[in-house]
């Protein structure tokens, strides 16, 4: 673009010299403006802006689908037994998690940093198992479709220095993770629909 602008400037100057006369230093047969004008004009006319670079299409790798549940809405403090009123929350939150071949349902429990590490890890694991058991029994999802993990306080999502942060860290996460050999028991192909219907019936 700068070269195009420079050519236009040179063209105007050559044209001006042609009409008004060339500068003294270019006289005595040294001025070649008449010969240059056609080439300058041709360069201007032939110029076209360069095409923008083609967009680079990056392959999008879909990550795990994750649902995060507040542990205090599911369990009493320090407990791993589901509250009586937690069923509706579980149904509404987990309808999107469906068993299907090639996908592993990972249930992971997390706690805040209050208490010792061993107790927190055990509590988080038991809570994850409780959610897994509910999904297995209520949705008729084969146990082979699940993996259960208890991380304790090792993977916080917020600061444990504030009550709000600790509340965010007390959670159970359910993720759909692609895994080639997961959930391949006989009849699994129909489990998705059966599980979804069972979950819907639970709310009725």
**In the predicted model, what is the mean pLDDT of the chain?**
77
Tell me what pLDDT residue 94 has.
72
d(CA 84, CA 68): 19
* Cα maximum dimension of the chain: 107
* pLDDT tens per residue across span 81-101: 999 888 888 887 777 677 778
Which letter, b or e, does each residue of 14-40 get, where b requires 16 or more Cβ atoms within 10 Å of its Cβ? beebeeeebeeeeeeeebebeeebeeb
Band (pLDDT 50/70/90 cuts) for residue 114 is: very high
Residue 125 has pLDDT above 90, yes or no: yes
- Judged by average pLDDT, the poorest of 51-55, 133-137, 199-203 is 199-203
Tell me what pLDDT residue 70 has.
92
pTM here is: 0.61
Tell me what pLDDT residue 55 has.
46
Tell me what pLDDT residue 61 has.
43
Name the range with the highest mean pLDDT among 17-26, 92-101, 148-157.
148-157
Average pLDDT value for residue range 7-14:
70
Tell me what pLDDT residue 123 has.
98
Residue 103 has pLDDT above 80, yes or no: yes
In this structure, the number of other CB atoms found within 10 A of the CB of residue 80 comes to: 20
CB 175 within 8 A of CB 130: no
Tell me what pLDDT residue 7 has.
64
* pLDDT tens per residue across span 43-70: 666 666 666 655 444 444 445 578 899 9
């Amino acid at each position: 673009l700068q070269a195009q602008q420079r050519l236009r400037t040179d063209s105007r100057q050559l044209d001006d010299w042609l009409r008004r006369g060339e500068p003294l230093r270019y006289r005595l047969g040294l001025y070649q403006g008449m010969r240059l004008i056609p080439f300058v004009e041709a360069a201007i006319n032939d110029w076209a802006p360069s095409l923008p670079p083609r967009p680079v299409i990056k392959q999008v790798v879909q990550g795990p689908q994750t649902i995060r549940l507040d542990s205090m809405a599911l369990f009493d403090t320090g407990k791993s037994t589901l509250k009586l009123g937690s069923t509706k929350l579980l149904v509404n939150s987990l309808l999107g998690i469906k068993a299907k071949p090639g996908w592993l349902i990972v249930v992971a429990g997390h706690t805040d940093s209050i208490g010792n590490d061993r107790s927190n890890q055990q509590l988080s694991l038991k809570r994850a198992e409780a959610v897994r058991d509910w999904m297995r029994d209520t949705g008729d999802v084969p146990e082979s479709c699940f993996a259960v993990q208890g991380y304790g306080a090792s993977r916080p999502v917020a600061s444990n220095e504030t009550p709000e942060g600790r509340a965010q860290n007390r959670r159970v996460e359910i993720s759909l993770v692609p895994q080639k050999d997961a959930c391949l028991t006989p009849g699994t192909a129909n489990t998705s629909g059966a599980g979804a219907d069972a979950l819907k019936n639970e709310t009725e």
